[in-house]
Structure 1
Amino acid sequence: MAGEDARAASLPAHLSIVVPCYKEAANVRPLVAALDTALVGLSWEVIFVDDNSPDGTAGVVRDVASVDPRVRVIQRVGRRGLSSAVIEGFLSSSASIVAVLDGDLQHDESALPAMVRLIAHDQADLVVASRHVEGGTNAGLANAWRRWLSNSGIRAAQALLPYPLSDPMSGFFAIRRDLFQSLLPKLSGAGFKILLDLAMSAGRDMRVAEVPAVFRPRLAGESKLDVVVLLQFAMMIVDKLCRGYVPTRFVAFGVVGLIGVAVNLGISTAARIAGFGFSKAQTVGTIAAIFADFWLNNTLTYRDRRLRGVRMWGGLVVFTLACSLGGIANIGVARMAYATFHHWDRSSAVGAVIGVVWNYAIASTLVWR
């Protein structure tokens, strides 16, 4: 840094760029260099929020920060999730404008000056770097499947937003920090699409602008966009529609519970067809539902607390043993219902619901604490 750049770097940051990241070690130095080129003359800082990446992402950021005071890192241990990472990054900044940029080099950092100008000149409160306005492109999406996921989310979000927004699935935007602070109590902090969370929380009064952005192909690391992200996106929409009265995690657990009920009914019916008696068939269905519930909750409901390796197997043992007590109640209630109503499917469903309620209590207090 020299001359104008050195003077800008010595001033309090006017712009903070928050970079949520996981396993992006190879992209840290190129991203900082790209920001240095794009933001000439601006006082800025970049805050990497790393979810304890096993590839040493946080260590690489510290190495860069040791020679560049504009760079710092928040290393989170025991918690994960893009939206919550962005929130923590925002809260660690005192800059008047805060931007979010992915750590994979796919976002075009050269759009930042135009985004900053719109907010600094009081022409917008939130500026989105859009792939779907003239001059923008989503060519960096790896394949047709990822484009379908992205476009499906966009259509769903546009139907719910109180104002037009061409790219509500964008992960690249800038916002006035004081506005973010005022919206913080309304944010769910769940999932991967913090922009939609902000937009739906703000309502019609927020002034929104868009600038074109090129979404570039990924050069290193791996994409985090998958069907689980889309499911979390859908649950966040449900959370916003319910105005926060129904927590996102409870919605997810309820969906998993319904799947568990279906697994229980399907397996127990198959066992009955195979010649099992009612009690044995219900037992087999209950065991299958326990395993399905654990896997789905570990993958979806508690993705930010996901158990891995030895901890996953330990969690499965605790979940299975504890849920076995619920399974006993499941079978007992189902047998009583069957003795009363003599209806196989309804009796199985009653028992399965009892098991789901018990499983939720176990999951919340013992497994994913």
Structure 2
Amino acid sequence: MTAEATSSNLTGHNAIAEVSIVLPTYNESKNIPLVFEALKQCLKGVAWEVIVVDDNSPDGSAEVAKKIGQQDSRMRVIRRVGRRGLSGACIEGMLASSAKFVAVMDADLQHDETLLPRMLEELRSDQHDIVIASRHVEGGEVGDGLSAFREWGSNLANSLARRFLKVELSDPMSGFFMLRREAFEELVPSLSSQGFKIMLDIVATSNGSLRIKELPFVFRERLHGESKLDTLVTMDYLGLLMAKLFHDRLSIRFLMFSFVGATGVIVHLIVLKTLLATQIAEFSAAQLVATFVAMTSNFFLNNRLTYRDRRLKGAAWFRGLLTFYLVCSFGVLANVGVAELIYAQQPLWWLAGAAGALMGAVWNYVASKTLTWRQS
């Protein structure tokens, strides 16, 4: 067999992949064929595969990828039903790989796929464990891919990551990277399936054990579809930040639930003050109205953010709201009961109040997770 034939066989459709490229998708049906064609052009001579992890996109993204896979075995598809989330999708995709190296990139063509061969070469040299595409090293640019507001938010998130997690990266918010699969396998038990910043989670969880290389790239403008990131991602990111600060002793979901609960306190006080100042209601009635407004606000935010992967819609939304009211009502009883018990033993108002609030928060979280946003 000639050298040319041997090379063709090693990089053919049935070759064992040296690198798996994980593409988490949601409503990317128009972009998937374009990305696949771009990968074929830039990865010539490499044994590779694509693992599309689709969160049951209503636009048929999974079906588009499967049709490509019927013609080219380098396309694999994981269709997730009943669960959502970028980090979780990336983790499932990387776990499905048996390749020596795994890469994660967006399916919206904003990440420059031509950087993949260079990433692979850096890892083949055995001097690095992870190679990260950075918009902030020399030669890299944000380009037109981010709005001014999102660029400001990204820069702020970068500063927070460096300050609190001691993650010394120029672009810790990057979602474009390649790493050794064995390194990922060691870290995966401690990674969170929630949130959007899987690379930051990987690097922070490694506690400095990973040998890191950053390469510059220019963030491109999306061709088709809309960005899946919204302003609530800021709170989601803060949840990851806090979870890592507490060394993962508290789950990101519980921290998000607590953040939302804190906003509920503010909503309650604003409504109560407004009703009393305008003399629309007496204190008891105003307190009752403020309580229900705060609970409704908490339910809405938790449904949008904390449980975005289990988001309730339609009739399930109204049933969920009713169960959330019920859960929170018992949470008040738990709060008051624990506070009174502690105050009777140790009459320190702040200790009793804090213990009661913590008990109420834990009850609301556990009960609502089980009853309101139960996993189907």
One-letter identity of the residue aligned with 2:291: T
Deviation at 1:332, TM superposition (A): 11
**Does structure 1 residue 293 correspond to structure 2 residue 335?**
no
The whole-number CA distance in structure 2 between the counterparts of 1:98 and 1:280 is 58
Picking from 210, 213, 222, the partner of 1:218 is: 222
Which deviates further from its counterpart, 305-314 or 89-98?
305-314
Pick one of 153, 176, 181 that aligns with 1:177.
Answer: 181
For 1:232, the aligned partner's letter is D
The verdict on how the C-alpha distance between 1:350 and 1:203 changes in structure 2, with shifts beyond 3 A counting, is closer
Decide which of 121, 133, 148 is 1:117's aligned counterpart: 121
- Partner in structure 1 of residue 82 of structure 2: 78
Matched residue count? 356
Residues 190-233 of structure 1: per-residue CA shift (max 9 Å, x gap): 21000110111112221100112121100101112322112211
Q: Deviations over 1:79-102 (max 9, x none)?
A: 111111100001000000000010
> Which residue of the partner structure matches residue 170 of structure 2?
166
Deviations 1:228-268 (A, max 9, x none): 11221111011011011111111111111111122222212
With over 3 angstroms needed to count, the CA separation of the structure-2 counterparts of 1:16 and 1:264, relative to structure 1, is: same
Alignment of 1:208 with 2:182, yes or no, is no
Q: After the TM superposition, which residues 225-264 of structure 1 pair with which residues of structure 2 at under 5 Å, given as runs?
A: 225-264=229-268
Q: Secondary structure at the match of 2:30?
A: helix
Change (3 A) 1:146 1:6: farther
How far apart in 2 are the matches of 1:353 and 1:279? 24
- The answer as to whether partners of 1:161 and 1:199 remain within 8 angstroms in 2 is no
Please state how far the C-alpha of 1:7 moved relative to its aligned partner: 4.2
Q: TM-score, normalised by structure 1?
A: 0.89
Identity %: 48
Tell me the TM-score normalised to structure 2 length: 0.88
Instruction: Trace 1:83-98 onto structure 2 (pairs within 5 A).
Output: 83-98=87-102
Between 213-222 and 149-158, report the one with greater CA deviation. Answer: 149-158
Quote the Cα distance in structure 2 between the aligned partners of 1:349 and 1:270. 26
CA distance in 1 between partners of 2:200 and 2:362 (Å): 31
Cα distance in 2 for residues equivalent to 1:281 and 1:357: 26
Is 1:51 matched with 2:55?
A: yes
Offset of residue 315 of structure 1: 1.4
Q: Tell me if structure 1 keeps the 8 A contact 2:110–2:145.
A: no
Find the aligned partners of 1:352 and 1:263 in 2 and give their Cα distance. 17
135, 141, 165: which one aligns with 2:139: 135
CA–CA distance in structure 2, aligned partners of residues 126 and 353 of structure 1: 40
- Aligned AA (2:133): A
| Aligned twin of 1:312 | 317
Distance 1:150 1:201, change over 3 A: same
Task: Classify the secondary structure of the residue corresponding to 1:170.
Answer: coil
1:150, distance to aligned residue in structure 2 (A):
1.4
Closer, same or farther in 2 for the Cα pair 1:355/1:241, shift >3 Å?
A: closer
Residue aligned with 1:206, SS: coil
Pairwise CA RMSD: 2.6
Pick aligned residue for 1:364 from 345, 366, 369 = 369
Instruction: Kindly indicate whether the alpha-carbon contact (under 8 Å) linking 1:15 and 1:44 is maintained by their aligned counterparts in 2.
Output: yes
Q: Whole-Å Cα distance in 2 between the matches of residues 324 and 206 of structure 1?
A: 47
**1:314 Cα deviation (Å)?**
2.4
Q: Which runs of 5+ in 1 are unaligned?
A: 335-347
Q: In the superposition, relative to structure 1, how do residues 351 and 208 fare at CA in structure 2: closer, same or farther (>3 Å)? A: closer
Gapped regions of structure 2 (runs ≥ 5): 340-352
User: Out of 277, 282, 287, which is 1:282 matched to?
Assistant: 287
Q: 1:351 to 1:99 in 2, by over 3 A?
A: closer
1:279 to partner: Cα distance: 1.5
CA distance in 2, matches of 1:33, 1:69: 14
CA deviation profile, 1:267-318 (whole Å, cap 9, x unmatched): 1222222332221111011110110110010111111211123322221233
Partners of 1:15 and 1:97 within 8 A in 2? yes
Contact 1:162 1:203 in 2 (8 A): no
Q: Distance in 2 between matches of 1:352 and 1:7?
A: 62
- 2:69 is matched by which residue type in structure 1? A
1:87-125 CA distance string (max 9 Å, x none):
000100000000001010110000000000111110210
SS of the residue 1:105 aligns to: coil
Cα distance in 2 for residues equivalent to 1:286 and 1:331: 15
- Structure 2 CA distance, aligned partners of 1:26 and 1:166? 32
